Structures are given as C-alpha cells and as structure tokens.
Amino acid sequence: MAVPRTANRIPTIYQCDSKGRENQTVVADLDGTLLVGRSSFPYFALIAFDVGGILRLLFLLLAAPLAGLLYHFVSESAGIRVLIFATFAGVKVADIKSAASAVLPKHYSEDVHPETWRVFSSCGRKCVLTANPRIMVEPYLKNYLGVDVVLGTEISSYKGIATGFVTSIGVLVGKNKATALRRTFGADSVPDIGIGDRKTDFPFMKLCKERYIVPSRPGVRPVRQDALPKPVIFHDGRLVQKPTPLMALLIVLWFPIGLILTILRVFIGSLTPISLNYHVINLLGCPTTIKGAPPNDAKHSSGKKGVVFVVSHRTVIDAVYVSACLGCMTTTISYSVPGFTEFLSPIKTARLTRDRAKDAKLIEQILDEGRYLVMCPEGTTCREPYLLRFSSLFAELTDQIVPVAIVVKTSMFHGTTARGYKWLDPFFFYMNPMPAYEVTFLNKLSPDQTCSAGKSSYDVANSVQEMIAKTLNYKCTNLTRKDKYRALAGTDGLVGQKPTRAATKVPG
C-alpha cells in the first residue's frame, strides 16, 4: 500500500531521531507500522487453524476475497469485520486468549519493523493502536515488547463464546483510533510521537506532537531476534510458517493428501522391524541423516551394563529415530505419553512416575539387563534453538553415557504440542511433505567426565547439555518442563490434566 499524497508533508520514520526519548510517549499503529507486514490475514489464519483446525482455516480463506473487496472499495473497518467473524464466530474466548499467548508471539517477533522499533523502543512509555482485536495482539505486545497500553478492537461475546461481531464502539480505525487515544490519555496529555502507515492513521497522529509515516519499501528486513527485548523460546500451534493467503491455500489443498500419507507412514513405521526402520523411513520420504557413530561397545553390550543415549528432545519420536539409526531395539522412558502413542511405538517404552526413587530403580533395572536406554533429560520438547535444563538422574545411575544431538526439519506442520492432542504429534510430523531428521552421535563420555571421577551428577548433566548445545549451535537454559507447560497451557504437562489458569507470560 503506497503512502497517500497527503502524507508527503509528514516526515518518514527514517527521519526521526531516536536519541533522548527516554521520558517521552510514543503511539504506533501495528500492521505496516510496528510490523513490516501490512496484512493481518496471516495472524487471523494462525488463530483460525489453532481453534478450529482445517475447516475453520478453509472458511477464513473463502471469506478473505470478500474481506479484501470490502477493504478496498468500502472501508478498512468492513474488511476487518469479515476476518473477525470468519475467525472468531462460535469460538470460546478462553481458546482465543490461549492461542494469542502461545501461538502468535513467535510469528509477530519475526516481523518487527527495524526503523519503527528503533524509535518505538527508545521511548519510555509505549502505546499501540490497532484495528486488530485487542485480545489477539495484547499478549505479545505487553509480554515481549514491553508495551504499556494496547488499544484495539473489542470483540463481543456471550457466555464466554465469541459471537464473531465487535462491540458497539466498532473497529478501531480512523476517527475511532483518535477517540480511543483521547479517552486513554485525556485532553491535557498529548503523546510525543505518533507513527502510522496509512490514511486511516492520520486522525490519531494529528493528536501527537510529532508525526512520522512508515513508507512501504520492498525488501525491508525485520529486526533480528537478538535485538528484541525477549526471545520467544516457547510457542505452540501446529503451523510452521506464517500462512499468507497462498500458503493457507497450499495447506488446505495438501491436508487430505498429507492425511493419507501420514497414516501410511505411521503404521508402516510402527510395524516395521527396528533393524529395517531406517531404510523404510527413508523410502517413505522422510530423509534421515546420521552423523558420528555410536561407540563399538554400544553395539555389543550383552552381559555388560546398558548404555544411556542422552538425547536433545525435539519430538515424541526422537527415541524411535535413534533406535532406527542404531539398527537395534532400545527402551525409552517418558514422564507422560498418551497410551495410543505407546501402542504405536516400535520400541519398548517405560513410564516414569515422577517419584525420583522409583524412577531411579526403573532405570537401573533397564541398564542392569544390558539394554540400551534412550532418554531425553529435558523432559519436554523445545522448538527453538535452545536446550532446557537437563535432569541429572541419568548421571547418577551410570557412567556409560553417549550424548546425541537431534535436529528436526519440517516445512508445514509442527510435530509437537503443549495445548492440543498429544497423540496426534507423530501424525502431524509425518503429515509434512518431507519431514527430516538429523541424528548426531557424540563421543561416549570418558570415565573422567562422569561421576566415577568424583564429579557431581549436576556437573555431568550440565556438561552433556553444553556438549549437545555446542554441536547444534544452540543456547543452554535453566528452563524446565513446568516452565513450558505453565506458560503455554497452564498445566504441569501431564496428559489429561486440565488447565488451572490461562497461559500468561512465557519465560524468556
């Protein structure tokens, strides 16, 4: 969208000096201003798929052309109303809040405008005005960008269910933005800087001492993630990419094909002997790369104490892939895995109890039998290039430790969830056109790197975490399974546990 001629008299954001703004107040629009992208469709699509699946996404996609026509030939307000109705009608308000907190921050953080952020971040008090529903944008803006006030469109609801309509105030565009700004700041308090990108932003910008326009410039690169106040470490939702209209169409068209493909992959893989699993997985279009090699004594440990393969956790099927790469049967342990997933597993599984003494006894029994144990001491998956804190239990029970670094590549769907149905995780992973695994076997720990040399179990666990992180070029954290699930789902991560509260801030 080009900047209107009437905006030529307004200086651009590139001309704004950001120095000495610590005590000033800035007010900015969202789409096309604080964000590089000028379309809010991708974020509505993310919510639609999360709360209603493929059918809700299809409904939104069918409604998008009408929204576009109304936007260009009637008003911006009319176009936004269509998107709100198609996305929210009949959805629980609690589900919308959950998706806004857990799904959208990852994608918003990848679209922050560098020049607007330069000015916006330099000011002491920050306010965002947007036509988008406040319920949708507020969690990211407040939790990750430190915004003090978020003014957006308010959606109506009945008994906790969104009606798909907006409140009597209407969509926050044009004069409605100016009215909301006056009501919030008062007649005597004038914001110092107003930033917008289109004609409908002029009314609120006129209320500010300084005004700047963000021109549409192709090729603008969003702010680097490390330049933002807080990284998005935990996020949920099944879609990997931000769904533009074209991507949303591809997802809808691929879904029935992917559904057939994933059923074939899951059930063929579960029925295939583990010694052949590696080759079968590759033949089914799931490329698997092996780097490094397990130690020789890990292949012939009959009569010896078993070997623990300590793995970075990416999906629920990490242990299956490690076993396939080893070409032999292993046992894996987990805190909370759906029964159906255990039923489909081609390797042995053992369930932990969260009682440290009982869990230690179970692990020792497995190792004493000379079996290979694959375990993920993080306790849960993490999608971003971070490793969660490693439990030290494995280091207390054995010196036979092989670190394993895992990298997973998907193009369409995430094979993990914190808030959805976890038994669907392997199905969503295999629904990708070509889901890829990279398994790197590091060197087995030498005796002087284990507890037998007098090291504490915590030091050994931290050392293994650092080895894997260095191999993957990831960062180590002290975050845990509880941190993730409390932030994204309001639970401790137990299967079947109901949320005790709505997700709020995500640790960063």
Same domain, 107 and 207: yes
Q: Calculate the alpha carbon distances from 209 to 25, 176, 198 in Å.
A: 10, 19, 18
Residues 353 and 473 in one domain: yes
423 shares a domain with 324? yes
- Shared domain check, 153 and 257: no
Question: Which residues have a Cβ under 8 Å from the Cβ of 134 and sit 6 or more positions away?
Answer: 150, 151, 152, 153, 154
Give the model's pLDDT for residue 49: 98
Do residues 153 and 166 make contact, with C-beta atoms less than 8 angstroms apart?
yes
Q: Could you tell me if residue 240 is inside a domain?
A: no
Are 91 and 216 contained in the same domain?
A: yes
Whether 404 maps to a domain, the answer reads: yes
Which residue, chain included where needed, has tokens 């691929």? 254
Amino acid 504: pLDDT: 45
Tell whether 152 and 263 lie within a shared domain: no
Whether residue 321 is contained in a domain is answered as yes
* Nearest-5° Cα angle at 32, 193 to 111: 105
101, part of any domain: yes
* In a domain? residue 236: no
Residues 274 and 128 in one domain: no
Structural domain of residue 369, as residue ranges? 245-488
Which residues of the chain, if any, have pLDDT below 70? 1-8, 296-304, 491-508
Asked if residue 232 is part of any domain, the answer here is: no
Residue 208 sits in the same domain as residue 251 = no
377 and 473 in one domain?
Answer: yes
- Kindly state the tokens that stand for 441: 């076997």
**CATH code for the domain in which residue 373 is found:** 3.40.1130
Domain count, the chain: 2
Q: How far from chain centre, in Å, is Cα 379?
A: 17
In the beta sheet, which residues pair with residue 440? 291, 405
Cα-only R_g, the chain = 26
What's residue 130's pLDDT?
96
Q: How far apart are CA 291 and CA 319, in angstroms?
A: 16
What is 135-161 written as a DSSP string?
Answer: HHHHHHHHHHS--SEEEEEPEEEETTE
Reported as a single tens digit per residue, the pLDDT across 147-186 is 999 999 999 999 999 999 999 999 999 999 999 999 999 8
Provide the CA 97 distance to its chain's centre, in angstroms.
Answer: 15
Asked if residue 269 and residue 218 are part of one domain, the reply reads: no
Tell me which of 201, 227, 253 is where a domain ends.
227
pLDDT on residue 502: 44
**507 assigned to some structural domain:** no
Dihedral (CA of 89, 91, 92, 95) sign:
negative
Residues 204, 317, single domain; the answer is no
Q: With respect to residue 411, please indicate whether it lies within any of the assigned structural domains.
A: yes
Q: What is the CATH number of the domain that holds 79?
A: 3.40.50.1000
The backbone torsions φ and ψ at residue 198, rounded to the nearest 5 degrees and listed phi first, read -150, 170
| Same domain (yes/no): 256, 168 | no
